[in-house]
Amino acid sequence: MQNIFQFFSLKNLRDIAQTLWTRFPIAVMLILVNSGFIWYQVNSDTGDNALIIQTILALIVTTFLAIGVSLFTESQKPTRYIRWLPIFPLLYGISFFFSISSLDTNSGVFDENLVYFSLHLVGFIALIFFAPYMINRTRDEKESIQYTNYFTRVTWELLMAGIVGGALMAL
């Protein structure tokens, strides 16, 4: 019988980290940088620093976009344009950082920024589900059927989660 904790062996964790680094290098770097900012924010005595929180939110959104773009580029044939596509999440993250105007909780803009962040986060997490299947649907009927089954299953799961979440919120 296999040991339950074999998953946490040093060799297995090293292999997982190497695989993550080769598939998602930008996302891994963003996660490491964001972890440092979160650690600083939690352990600092300065209180709520709006600039650090703004950076953390921008890095979270950029991380999910970087994962989605990496999955999309894996499903495409390598071309000159596809090779430069992983830089797009970094540019988008910078523009997202500057588009969040003020995270001061005393201003009325805080709620708008929170909704803005939430919408971007939900959209980019949804992109992760559909990025591998964003190719020409008319090319192969087998891929089209596989995509339709995947899309139906994910949509059904999201609908059920919404129903259960709505029911819990109503209680």
Q: Do 166 and 99 share a structural domain?
A: no
Does residue 8 surpass a pLDDT of 50?
A: yes
Structural domain that includes position 148: 137-171
* 82 and 149, same domain (yes or no): no
Shared domain for 96 and 31, answered yes or no, is yes
Confidence of residue 32 (pLDDT cuts 50, 70, 90): very high
For residue 63, what pLDDT is reported?
Answer: 92
My answer on whether 44 and 112 are in the same domain is yes
- Is there a single domain that holds both residue 130 and residue 160? no
Same domain, yes or no, for 17 and 76?
yes
Average pLDDT, the chain: 79
Residue 1 has pLDDT above 70, yes or no: no
Q: Could you tell me if 85 and 152 lie in one domain? A: no
105, pLDDT greater than 80: no
Residue 86, SS3? Answer: helix
Q: How far is CA 116 from CA 54, 112, 123, in A?
A: 12, 6, 11
**Both 119 and 153 in a single domain?**
no
The per-residue pLDDT for 77 is: 75
Q: pLDDT band at residue 138, thresholds of 50, 70 and 90? A: very low
* 126 lies in the same domain as 141: no
Query: What pLDDT is recorded for position 133?
Result: 66
Looking at residue 130, its pLDDT comes to: 73
- Total number of domains constituting the chain: 2
What mean pLDDT comes out for the span 103-111? 61
Q: Which residues contact 128 (CB under 8 A, 6 or more apart)?
A: 64, 67, 68, 71
Distances (CA, A) of 17 to 4, 22, 37, 61, 168: 20, 9, 21, 22, 37
Residues 42-97 have pLDDT tens digits of: 888 776 677 888 888 899 999 999 988 888 887 777 787 877 888 899 999 998 88
Q: Residue 143 — very low, low, confident or very high, per pLDDT cuts 50/70/90?
A: low
What is the rounded distance in angstroms from the CA atom of residue 162 to the CA atom of residue 9? 38
Q: Tell me if residue 51 falls in helix, strand or coil.
A: helix
